[in-house]
Structure 1
Amino acid sequence: MSSDARLPTPSPWPTGSLRSAAAAPLRPQTYRNLLYLSLAFPLGLTYFVFLAVGFGVGVSLAFVVVGIPLLVAVLAVALGLASVERKLATLLLGVSVTPPATPDSDSLVERTKRLVVGLRTWKAVAYLASKLVFGVVSFTAITSLLVTAVSLLAVPFVYDRPGVYVGLLASEPAVFRPEMFLGWDGALVGVRAAFSLTSWQVTTLAEATAVAGFGVVLAVVTLNLLNGLAWLSGRYTVWLLGGERDDASDAAAA
């Protein structure tokens, strides 16, 4: 049995099926995607700081002997971190990311030269530097949308507790003035109305249930958006960190 048989099922691009979208909270792959995206921000921030400090110090000291070895070390560590990213994508996203083949019989000088000028190295650096972008987008979606959805789902359990206010509380009244005008026999007939909204509080179980229902819809929509983001991240990982076998597999699948 090949090792690929033990991998989780890759997350497919959303097909637009309503049934498939509604089933997103029931699929284990959704939560593997969520774990991957949750790790993207701290890892991306770590990579960005490492590259900024490493290249900054290395370039500033390039005129002395210590600067060049430091830059080479930064590139070597970047390749190692790219290997970690391949394993994460394989384990959590279910994509197969094969590292580019490199000869092992070269001398130290040849390996160092390949490290410095090789496309594989700079693709890894570009991937690590851009990981922060995926991390920020994922962190924003999780904290703003998914956390809000979970909070709405908890409303029926907390709305009637003493000291708990669930609802809308505006610092200033929000006034809505819908207007409609119709021309009739040379005259202009109009209807105006004004509505003022100052606050609204959930006070009944029916209202709390309605809020929780909206939370279910928001959670399903958010999980599908996060699945799409995880799919894009997996394709991006294969594109930048994969080898020739990955490129051939993608072409055959297309």
Structure 2
Amino acid sequence: MKRAIMRNVQNFIFLMFTFASGVFYFCFYLSAIALGLALSFTVVGIPLLTNVLRTSQTFVQYERIQTKIYTDISIEPLAARQRAEGNQWMQAKAELTDGRNWRIVYWLMQKFTIGISSLLIGVIIYIAPVLFVLVPLFYRYTEINFWGMAVDTELKALLIMSLGIILMIGCSKIGNGLVQLIGGYTRLMFKAIRG
């Protein structure tokens, strides 16, 4: 029982990390690349784009580690890249023309949609059943409606609590499968990045 509860908490944390990281990647790369392209006619834009693309390697390794910790899906790390020889402009050219950087950014930005669905899954599968179980404690103090039915008696509150318990048991198995599916996205991302 304790192991199942810990697994559900771990799954919920993974889903929330997926949401947070997906929003972060989307906002970070969208704003940084747009700003870098807008400033590319000045001296500031190209170094900004170069440094933003260098972060992609770090973020994709973070995704691999996060997936391993929370879903126990093992993925081989990407081979470390060597910085290009030469002055700053030669290094910038090497970073900007490396297709692998742009593939990583593409896959990390796609994580935004997966993050939004992770938030919805986390709330529906893990938060809602817990709230249903807590209805008998709060129905006297606040107005609670469940699908148009006012929860104003103890019998109705106990019915919703029993529905919450059933959902906890059923959604636990569904949640495990969905977390493995979302973790599989990272494996797919690494396969696509390697080419």
TM range (shorter): 0.7 to 0.9
Deviates more, 1:227-236 or 1:26-35: 26-35
Q: Offset of 1:69 from its aligned partner?
A: 1.4
C-alpha contact 1:153 1:216 (8 A) present in aligned 2: yes
C-alpha contact 2:38 2:45 (8 A) present in aligned 1: yes
Is residue 20 of structure 2 the alignment partner of residue 42 of structure 1? yes
Structure 1 vs Structure 2 CA RMSD = 3.2
Equivalence for 1:158:
138
TM-score of the two chains, using structure 2 as the length reference: 0.80
Counterpart code for 1:37: L
Equivalence for 2:161:
212
Deviates more, 1:220-229 or 1:126-135: 220-229
Equivalence for 1:137:
117
Tell me, in whole angstroms, the C-alpha distance in 2 between the residues paired with 1:157 and 1:98.
48
Gaps of at least 5 residues in structure 1 are: 1-22, 171-198, 248-254
Q: Residues 242 and 97 of structure 1: is their aligned pair in 2 closer, same or farther, counting only changes over 3 Å? A: farther
Equivalence for 1:70:
48
Tell me, in whole angstroms, the C-alpha distance in 2 between the residues paired with 1:167 and 1:138.
26
Equivalence for 1:127:
107
Tell me, in whole angstroms, the C-alpha distance in 1 between the residues paired with 2:74 and 2:136.
43
Tell me, in whole angstroms, the C-alpha distance in 1 between the residues paired with 2:144 and 2:56.
48
Deviates more, 1:99-108 or 1:57-66: 99-108
Task: Determine helix, strand or coil for the equivalent of 1:100.
Answer: coil
Tell me, in whole angstroms, the C-alpha distance in 2 between the residues paired with 1:44 and 1:216.
31
Tell me, in whole angstroms, the C-alpha distance in 1 between the residues paired with 2:109 and 2:192.
20
Tell me, in whole angstroms, the C-alpha distance in 1 between the residues paired with 2:176 and 2:147.
33
Structure having the higher strand fraction is 1
Tell me, in whole angstroms, the C-alpha distance in 2 between the residues paired with 1:103 and 1:142.
36
Gaps of at least 5 residues in structure 2 are: none
Tell me, in whole angstroms, the C-alpha distance in 2 between the residues paired with 1:114 and 1:220.
52
Q: Offset of 1:72 from its aligned partner?
A: 0.9
C-alpha contact 1:120 1:241 (8 A) present in aligned 2: no
C-alpha contact 1:89 1:95 (8 A) present in aligned 2: yes
Equivalence for 2:185:
236
C-alpha contact 1:51 1:74 (8 A) present in aligned 2: yes
Task: Determine helix, strand or coil for the equivalent of 2:40.
Answer: coil
Equivalence for 1:83:
61
Determine what percentage of the aligned residue pairs are the same residue: 25
Tell me, in whole angstroms, the C-alpha distance in 1 between the residues paired with 2:95 and 2:77.
14
Equivalence for 2:126:
146
Structure having the higher helix fraction is 2
TM-score of the two chains, using structure 1 as the length reference: 0.64
1:201 counterpart (131, 146, 151): 151
Is residue 32 of structure 2 the alignment partner of residue 54 of structure 1? yes
2:10 counterpart (23, 32, 43): 32
The structure with the larger Rg is 1
Tell me, in whole angstroms, the C-alpha distance in 2 between the residues paired with 1:98 and 1:30.
26
C-alpha contact 1:100 1:120 (8 A) present in aligned 2: no
